[in-house]
């Protein structure tokens, strides 16, 4: 008791700080008989960067997939910008949600047969109904933001892993999402490419993009996050501001994990 930050409700005025853009309340999810999430509470304020750290298999990716509506919890509530994601039934509502929530994975899976520019343009034009000229102008702004403007005509196969991941981040931004989920986006990269991708994410955080990051990069999480959550075996074991969570973890399991990760 007393280890976790209080989990304020989403009523206006119940907490200082930014309004929650994402909230999970007591989320439970099982695959068959296997309980994977055992009562998850997470909150991401508008404009915040929040990190989830924890051992492999502890449920981090599952949390992100619940937020996009890809998985439906058996119990609990998930809200994204006021929309009750856990209760969405119609496919049209889920598609609308996914336009608002960018998702970047470890595997960048760009469309290999499309140029870098076209990778960014296709969804806004075909799914978002954006006029092509406007989509192209926006795509070029985003490529500049991720420092890939010189490669707009290249194909994904001609790029390094770090470059592909930066394009994947720009592609997620092309839909003008309200928030972006990053799931271990540097884990598949050669070490020398990790920094360039983290720099891009840091820039986005500084621009005020709302970000929820699952990461093994502890120093990065400590640097950029407003709040860090530590998961183990489907539970949030500890949460708090990074200086406290990394500097003085209250829970022995958090301490052990951070020692191993160091």
Rounded Cα–Cα distance for residues 186 and 60 (Å): 15
Among the residue ranges 52-60, 111-119, 158-166, 216-224, the one whose residues contact ligand ADP (CB under 6 A)? 52-60
56 sits near ligand ADP (criterion: CB under 6 A): yes
**Helix/strand/coil for 181:** strand
Provide the terminal-to-terminal Cα distance of the chain, rounded to the nearest Å. Answer: 27
Nearer to ligand ADP by Cβ, of 148 and 211: the residue is 211
Nearer to ligand ADP by Cβ, of 75 and 147: the residue is 75
Which residue in 25, 60, 79, 166 binds ligand ADP (CB under 6 A)? 60
Among the residue ranges 59-67, 131-139, 151-159, 221-229, the one whose residues contact ligand ADP (CB under 6 A)? 59-67
- 8 A C-beta contact, residue 80 and residue 101: yes
Find residue 45's DSSP bridge partners: 20
Residue whose beta carbon is closest to Mg ion: 61
119 sits near Mg ion (criterion: CB under 5 A): no
Q: Which does 59 bind (CB under 5 to 8 A by kind): Mg ion, ligand ADP, none?
A: ligand ADP
Handedness of CA 215, 216, 220, 221 (dihedral sign): positive
For tokens 């990269």, what's the residue?
189
Handedness of CA 240, 103, 210, 144 (dihedral sign): positive
Nearer to ligand ADP by Cβ, of 59 and 124: the residue is 59
Nearer to ligand ADP by Cβ, of 65 and 99: the residue is 65
**Helix/strand/coil for 205:** helix
Which residue in 23, 48, 51, 62 binds ligand ADP (CB under 6 A)? 62
Nearer to ligand ADP by Cβ, of 28 and 147: the residue is 28
**Binding to ligand ADP in span 88-147, by CB under 6 A:** none
Which residue in 27, 36, 125, 209 binds ligand ADP (CB under 6 A)? 36
Q: Closest by alpha carbon to 151, among 91, 196, 107?
A: 196
Q: C-beta of 59: minimal distance to Mg ion in Å? A: 8
> HSE-up of 91 (CA within 13 Å, CB side)?
0
C-alpha distances in Å from residue 202, one per residue of 85, 190, 199, 256: 28, 19, 5, 27
61 sits near Mg ion (criterion: CB under 5 A): yes
Residues that bind ligand ADP (CB under 6 A): 31, 34, 36, 56-62
Residues that bind Mg ion (CB under 5 A): 60-61
């Amino acid at each position: 008791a007393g280890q976790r930050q209080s989990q304020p409700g989403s009523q206006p005025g119940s907490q200082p700080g930014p309004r929650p853009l994402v909230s999970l309340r007591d989320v439970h999810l099982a695959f068959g008989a296997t309980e994977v999430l055992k009562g998850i509470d997470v909150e991401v304020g508008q404009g915040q960067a929040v990190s989830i750290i924890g051992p492999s298999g502890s449920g981090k990716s599952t949390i992100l997939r619940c937020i996009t509506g890809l998985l439906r919890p058996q119990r609990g509530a998930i809200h994204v910008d006021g929309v009750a994601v856990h209760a969405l039934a119609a496919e049209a509502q889920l598609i609308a949600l996914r336009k608002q929530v960018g998702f970047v994975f470890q595997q960048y899976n760009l469309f290999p047969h499309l140029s870098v520019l076209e990778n960014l343009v296709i969804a806004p034009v075909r799914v978002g109904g954006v006029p092509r000229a406007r989509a192209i102008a926006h795509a070029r702004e985003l490529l500049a933001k991720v420092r890939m403007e010189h490669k707009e005509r290249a194909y994904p196969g001609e790029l390094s892993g770090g470059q592909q991941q930066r394009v994947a981040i720009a592609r997620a931004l092309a839909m003008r999402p309200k928030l972006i989920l990053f799931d271990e986006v540097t884990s598949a990269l050669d070490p020398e490419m990790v920094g360039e991708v983290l720099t891009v994410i840091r820039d986005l955080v500084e621009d005020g993009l709302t970000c929820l990051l699952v990461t093994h990069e502890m120093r990065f999480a400590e640097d950029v996050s407003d709040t860090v959550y530590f998961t183990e075996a489907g539970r949030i074991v500890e949460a708090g501001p990074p200086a406290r969570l990394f500097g003085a973890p209250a829970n022995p399991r958090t301490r052990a994990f951070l020692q191993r990760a160091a």
